[in-house]
């Protein structure tokens, strides 16, 4: 039986146990690409209850704050592509493009036409469609130094291509490979969560799909485009469908009391499988029960510290730590900053 959540738990951001926290680097690169001056930027950060210090180093943002920041930056800059291209993409362009793409005969034609369209703003096609035997690669073509050096850009572009293609055919496209630039190997866990599979790293960034998948015809109607455009920022921080098992494990751990105290054996029993089967299936996702539990604790700690309604000692107790010092060490290992410093930055901004 699931325990009834208390009032503090009800105030936790919706979906906190499903969506991971976001690296602050993604936010820094988005802000840099938007080109907002400091006088414009500071009020935006205030509305998100964020400080400039909260975006530094290896800090992480809860999804709610990152989504709010994303929407405010897009609205203020008037650029749907968050500064990723050489020229701003006017608001409403994405939805209008979708209304036209639904009439094309295949997904291959959709991706090729969309690349030609965005070349108007990028000064070159941002990706190209390549055939390799019975596979097709959607390979990014970085045209600017900022795109080459960015962590946000390849995640944002490849996820957008995948979600748009899946939306058009009304089911998740099965990706054969996700390859990101070699310099982004430190984001392997984030990529695995977002794409639902382990990413590889190489000289080029691309998605690889079966050629037969890209010969499928779009099934959407033009009037459905506005809804996808509205919810695309949320999709870009949600888990890939292939990690449903990981989401189930996170849900079981979040319901346990003390928090995340469920053993691997108990979780496997509740999922209707042997412990060895759970271990093996999580290994196929390149993760483990221990890793999921630690990431879950990190994400909840960030959410609770952001609210500022509980002491660090109470948060440590709620999360099953026998001593606050143990929680403090763990939180600093997760985020690079002590929990007290993380909370002070947030509360100072909120006040």
The pLDDT of residue 244 is: 64
The verdict on 153 and 257 lying in the same domain is no
Token pair 């695995």 in the structure block, residue: 192
Average pLDDT over residues 319-341: 87
Domain identity same for 146 and 221: yes
Residue in this structure with the two tokens 């990014």, named with its chain if needed = 140
Each residue of 203-212: pLDDT tens digit?
Answer: 999 999 999 9
Residue 2 within any structural domain of the chain? no
CA 38 to chain centre: 26
Q: Is the pLDDT of residue 6 over 60?
A: no
Domain that holds residue 24: 20-77
Q: What is the pLDDT of residue 16?
A: 42
**pLDDT confidence of residue 60:** 86
Tell me how far apart the alpha carbons of residues 344 and 351 are, in angstroms, rounded to a whole number. 10
Residues 38 and 106 in one domain: no
Considering the domain architecture, whether residues 226 and 113 belong to the same structural domain is answered as yes
**pLDDT band at residue 158 using 50, 70 and 90 as cut-offs:** very high
Judge contact between 94 and 229, C-beta under 8 A: yes
Residue 2 has pLDDT above 50, yes or no: no
pLDDT of 12 > 80? The answer is no
**Domain co-membership, 196 together with 65:** no
Which has more confidence, 347 or 324?
A: 324
Tally Cβ neighbours within 10 Å of residue 4: 7
* CA 302/CA 342 separation, integer angstroms: 8
Report the run of H or E that residue 296 belongs to, with start and end.
helix 289-307
Establish if 65 belongs to a structural domain. yes
Let me know whether 222 and 97 are in one domain.
Answer: yes
Give the residue with greater pLDDT, 6 vs 108.
108
Confidence bin at 19 (pLDDT 50/70/90): low
Q: How confident is the model at residue 53 (pLDDT cuts 50, 70, 90)?
A: confident
| pLDDT for res 159 | 95
Q: Of 235, 257, 290, which residue is a domain's last?
A: 235
Average pLDDT over residues 176-202: 89
Same domain for 170 and 267: no
**pLDDT at residue 348 greater than cutoff 70:** no
- Tokens representing 29 are 């690169």
Mean residue pLDDT across the chain = 85
pLDDT at residue 29 tops 80: yes
Q: Do 98 and 166 fall into the same domain?
A: yes
Residue 351 confidence (pLDDT): 58
CATH number for 293: 1.10.10.60
Same domain, 177 and 290: no
Q: Are residues 204 and 218 in the same domain?
A: yes
Q: Is the pLDDT of residue 216 over 80?
A: yes
| pLDDT the model gives residue 161 | 96
């Amino acid at each position: 039986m699931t325990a009834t959540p208390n009032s503090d738990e009800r105030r936790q951001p919706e979906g906190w146990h499903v969506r991971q926290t976001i690296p602050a680097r993604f936010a820094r690169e988005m802000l840099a690409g938007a080109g907002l001056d400091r006088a414009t930027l500071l009020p935006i950060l205030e509305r998100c209850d964020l400080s400039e210090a909260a975006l530094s180093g290896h800090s992480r943002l809860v999804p709610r704050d990152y989504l709010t920041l994303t929407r405010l930056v897009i609205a203020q800059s008037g650029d749907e592509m968050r500064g990723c291209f050489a020229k701003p993409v006017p608001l409403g362009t994405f939805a209008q493009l979708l209304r036209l793409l639904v009439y094309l005969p295949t997904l291959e034609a959709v991706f090729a036409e969309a690349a030609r369209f965005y070349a108007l703003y990028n000064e070159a096609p941002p990706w190209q469609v390549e055939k390799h035997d019975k596979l097709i690669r959607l390979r990014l073509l970085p045209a600017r130094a900022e795109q080459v050096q960015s962590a946000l850009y390849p995640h944002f572009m490849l996820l957008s291509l995948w979600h748009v293609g899946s939306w058009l055919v009304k089911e998740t496209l099965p990706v054969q490979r996700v390859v990101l630039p070699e310099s982004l190997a430190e984001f392997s866990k984030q990529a695995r969560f977002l794409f639902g599979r382990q990413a590889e790293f190489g000289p080029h960034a691309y998605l690889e799909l079966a050629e037969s998948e890209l010969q499928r015809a779009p099934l959407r109607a033009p009037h459905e485009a506005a809804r996808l455009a509205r919810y695309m920022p949320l999709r870009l921080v949600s888990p890939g469908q292939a990690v449903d098992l990981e989401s189930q494990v996170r849900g079981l751990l979040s319901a346990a009391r003390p928090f995340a105290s469920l053993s691997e054996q108990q979780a496997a029993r509740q999922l209707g499988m042997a412990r060895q089967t759970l271990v093996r299936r999580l290994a196929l996702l390149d993760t483990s029960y221990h890793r999921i539990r630690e990431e879950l604790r990190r994400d909840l700690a960030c959410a609770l510290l952001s609210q500022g309604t509980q002491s660090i000692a109470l948060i440590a107790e709620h999360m099953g730590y026998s001593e606050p010092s143990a929680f403090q060490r763990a939180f600093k290992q997760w985020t690079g900053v002590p929990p007290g410093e993380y909370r002070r930055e947030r509360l100072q901004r909120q006040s």
